Chains A and B, each alone.
Chain A
């Protein structure tokens, strides 16, 4: 290990033959290289210009109090700006002005104080350094023995070691008494609901119309041109008074129409699409972000959070990224009026994986 011309001091000091015998007691098995560099001792104190030139000292003094006065000015200005730049209309510009001028006033108040104090310390206060002596952090052997003796005496007087039945029952009681407090936290979630049950179902059921997100207007199959994509929610979602976001977090769907020739459909799912129109869960199977970006010419869906990519032409299988499962497909059909409807709920849980999923 190379040594520069400074670090010798530490090693010399740590060596038992040198200055600090009190630090030498416990150096472990480390090999301390010998370094012959002698500590040259403190350099003579160097005066600053403000120590020697009264003119410079005066100037420094002026600078310091000017900075403090500027600070007062800044505080006053911040209060004035609070009054002078109200935010009464609906104008975002007012907010900007208020923020900037109150802020700049506060900045001046704080920086004036700060630079003033630092400049005072650096240029005018006596610059001599203090020297403290360090002692090993651990207590002396006598003190240690004293502490050991205290414990021994307390043990003897209480019988903590001797009366082992009392001691062990105490330890047992101490271990058990916090448990009721832990149990109380069960109340964080509703008692009458089960997460696996809830995660396995969405709002979609047979006949639910596919509606536009966020307006809730039902979609006709004839409105979906080839190459287009729609953000979809189940009809009736917006009318839910309670639990709307929870349902939306599971039921959000992406609807795309591909040229039927480009769609490679598995035999058992051939009836799940309608004339090249397919619907897939929008909730990423990785950690649940909305898979919102559709690249029309490659038929790829991209999740903007962690860049998982899904191939719409192949049942939204994962082609890149950390997601492991294809996006669940919503089986769709059309009703008598030509509106797109769901054939059923999703046939598997949507969204991120969870332990009980199988």
Chain B
């Protein structure tokens, strides 16, 4: 494509792209960015892809989620279902549930988009988790990247919030029970609990407000914060330049890897499509969250083996591990330590993980800048601490499946719970000393 420039003194023939680029540069000064960033080295290692998987699945979530908003109706008004799914015809349910069923059974490709959205959400959180483990075990959170670790961890929490608000929206039996549990936990908080639940649900549980409110959080407030934080998080990677593993010629003073243009762009851009393709493949072949099997929310029925989405498991597991009787009345008020201990325990765990870079820097007294990723074997104390943390999390997580473990492996419920209580309390110490 070429065109003749009509603006006099310039050379006679000039390509269209050159003209367009000039036009843009004269109005934005974009050339500085291209020159400065275009050939930036991007260190290469398979584990650096984990954060990219998170980023790319987030894009899928945004795009598929926007499509879903055109069809989903976040209303808890009761209707009689009259869609194509025969077993539920005539059943009373909320408009939210009915419109989710319509997306699944009456809009071509709707189920595909819905399943992509849910699978991408699971991949998003899984990728963030693995990315965090990579950053932790290679010490990539050290100066100057401590603040970016905090942003990343906040993103992880927000992603779980997005996940929970998202799967509560269809107002089906499973998600309704999830909300019931949240309501029970909120009510267990001292002083503010009862009123917080009352305000959250717009009156008594379940009320007719919660789906609409979660929807606003799910599609407006949380995505906005997520997007802004992701921009800052990725922006920091440019400011700091990516860490790299040590190797011949690779030092703390340089950053070695394929240039952004063209190789990194081709590989990362291609990888983006691969991640999208894998999500599409899973969504095409595997059912997720079949709400038509659960039916609409009703406070009375519940089936055995109900599970939250896997990333909420650690919190659900923490609730399950509390022994009987951790609640009493004192000063004429109810103190629900069976709720408070999991809440405070998980809160402390989150706080420790969040501030780990500062704790480590304080203990080691290390104020140097680090740009070379540690091999975990070269930082055994940190690796052992990480192993302890993973064991703690895994114990809580397994506890969320205590009933499934008991029935599948023919164990007693009590045995499973006691074993997992031991795992969560003693396990981290064992893991620490084995790893050290």
| A-side contacts of B271, CB under 8 Å | 114, 118
State whether the Cβ of A266 lies closer than 8 Å to any Cβ in chain B: no
| B-side contacts of A355, CB under 8 Å | 187, 189-194, 333-334
| A-side contacts of B256, CB under 8 Å | 42, 129-132
| A-side contacts of B285, CB under 8 Å | 100, 103
Tell whether, in the assembled complex, residue B378 and residue A353 are in contact, meaning their CB atoms are under 8 Å apart: no
Please give 18 more A-B residue pairs, beta carbons under 8 A apart, in addition to A27-B367, A114-B270: A14-B252, A87-B108, A100-B285, A117-B270, A118-B266, A125-B262, A125-B266, A185-B199, A196-B194, A248-B300, A249-B205, A287-B188, A307-B403, A321-B324, A325-B327, A354-B193, A355-B193, A357-B333
Tell whether, in the assembled complex, residue A110 and residue B204 are in contact, meaning their CB atoms are under 8 Å apart: no
State whether the Cβ of A2 lies closer than 8 Å to any Cβ in chain B: yes
**Complex: A82 Cα to B377 Cα, angstroms:** 53
Q: Which of A26, A41, A110 makes the CB contact (< 8 A) with B248?
A: A41
- Within the complex, the shortest CB–CB distance from A281 to chain B, in Å, comes to 11
**Complex: A289 Cα to B85 Cα, angstroms:** 28
B300-314 interface code vs A (CB 8 A; 1 in, 0 out): 111111100000000
State whether the Cβ of A167 lies closer than 8 Å to any Cβ in chain B: no
Tell whether, in the assembled complex, residue B180 and residue A324 are in contact, meaning their CB atoms are under 8 Å apart: no
| A-side contacts of B239, CB under 8 Å | 137
Q: Which of A147-155, A187-195, A217-225, A272-280 contacts B (4 or more CB under 8 A)?
A: A187-195
| B-side contacts of A323, CB under 8 Å | 324, 338
With A23-B253, A118-B271, A318-B325 as contacts: A7 and B299 at CB distance below 8 Å: no
| Residues of chain B from 292 to 332 with CB closer than 8 A to chain A in the complex | 297-306, 316, 319-329, 332
With A99-B284, A107-B284 as contacts: A134 and B183 at CB distance below 8 Å: no
- Within the complex, the shortest CB–CB distance from B260 to chain A, in Å, comes to 8
Tell whether, in the assembled complex, residue B112 and residue A287 are in contact, meaning their CB atoms are under 8 Å apart: no
**Complex: A61 Cα to B332 Cα, angstroms:** 79
Q: Which of B153-161, B273-281, B388-396 contacts A (4 or more CB under 8 A)?
A: B273-281
| B-side contacts of A195, CB under 8 Å | 194-195, 197-198, 204
- Within the complex, the shortest CB–CB distance from A342 to chain B, in Å, comes to 17
| A-side contacts of B336, CB under 8 Å | 324, 352-353
Q: Which of A90, A134, A322 has the most CB of B within 10 A?
A: A322
**Complex: A339 Cα to B191 Cα, angstroms:** 42
- CB-based closest 8 A-B pairs: A103-B284, A287-B184, A117-B270, A28-B367, A114-B273, A121-B266, A29-B365, A110-B277
State whether the Cβ of A43 lies closer than 8 Å to any Cβ in chain B: yes
With an 8 Å Cβ cutoff, the count of chain A residues facing the other chain is: 122
Tell whether, in the assembled complex, residue B253 and residue A353 are in contact, meaning their CB atoms are under 8 Å apart: no
A106-141 interface code vs B (CB 8 A; 1 in, 0 out): 111111011111111110011101111110111000
Interface of B is mostly: mixed
State whether the Cβ of B380 lies closer than 8 Å to any Cβ in chain A: yes
Tell whether, in the assembled complex, residue B187 and residue A320 are in contact, meaning their CB atoms are under 8 Å apart: no
With A121-B262, A137-B369, A289-B302 as contacts: A102 and B112 at CB distance below 8 Å: yes
Tell whether, in the assembled complex, residue A305 and residue B327 are in contact, meaning their CB atoms are under 8 Å apart: no
State whether the Cβ of A252 lies closer than 8 Å to any Cβ in chain B: yes
Q: Which of A23, A114, A282 has the most CB of B within 10 A?
A: A114
Tell whether, in the assembled complex, residue A13 and residue B251 are in contact, meaning their CB atoms are under 8 Å apart: yes
Tell whether, in the assembled complex, residue B262 and residue A213 are in contact, meaning their CB atoms are under 8 Å apart: no
A-B contact list, 12 entries, CB within 8 Å: A10-B251, A87-B108, A114-B271, A189-B199, A195-B195, A243-B204, A245-B298, A248-B298, A289-B180, A289-B184, A354-B194, A356-B334
Q: Which of A13, A126, A213 makes the CB contact (< 8 A) with B252?
A: A13
| B-side contacts of A243, CB under 8 Å | 204
Point out residues on A near B: beta carbons under 8 Å: 1-4, 6-10, 12-14, 19-20, 23, 26-30, 32, 39-43, 82, 85-87, 89-90, 92, 95, 98-100, 102-104, 106-111, 113-122, 125-127, 129-134, 136-138, 185-186, 188-190, 193, 195-196, 198-199, 213-214, 231, 233, 243, 245-246, 248-250, 252, 282-284, 286-290, 292-293, 302, 304-309, 318-325, 351-358
**Complex: A120 Cα to B270 Cα, angstroms:** 9
Tell whether, in the assembled complex, residue B206 and residue A130 are in contact, meaning their CB atoms are under 8 Å apart: no
| B-side contacts of A136, CB under 8 Å | 369
Q: Which of A42, A214, A351 makes the CB contact (< 8 A) with B184?
A: A351
Tell whether, in the assembled complex, residue B324 and residue A20 are in contact, meaning their CB atoms are under 8 Å apart: no
State whether the Cβ of B344 lies closer than 8 Å to any Cβ in chain A: no
Tell whether, in the assembled complex, residue A357 and residue B245 are in contact, meaning their CB atoms are under 8 Å apart: no
Tell whether, in the assembled complex, residue A130 and residue B249 are in contact, meaning their CB atoms are under 8 Å apart: no
Q: Which of B203, B240, B323 makes the CB contact (< 8 A) with A193?
A: B203
- Within the complex, the shortest CB–CB distance from A132 to chain B, in Å, comes to 4
| B-side contacts of A248, CB under 8 Å | 298-300
**Complex: A210 Cα to B243 Cα, angstroms:** 68
Tell whether, in the assembled complex, residue A118 and residue B177 are in contact, meaning their CB atoms are under 8 Å apart: no
State whether the Cβ of B19 lies closer than 8 Å to any Cβ in chain A: no
- Within the complex, the shortest CB–CB distance from A354 to chain B, in Å, comes to 4
**Complex: A350 Cα to B303 Cα, angstroms:** 21
With A288-B183, A320-B414 as contacts: A20 and B372 at CB distance below 8 Å: no
| B-side contacts of A134, CB under 8 Å | 241, 252-255, 371
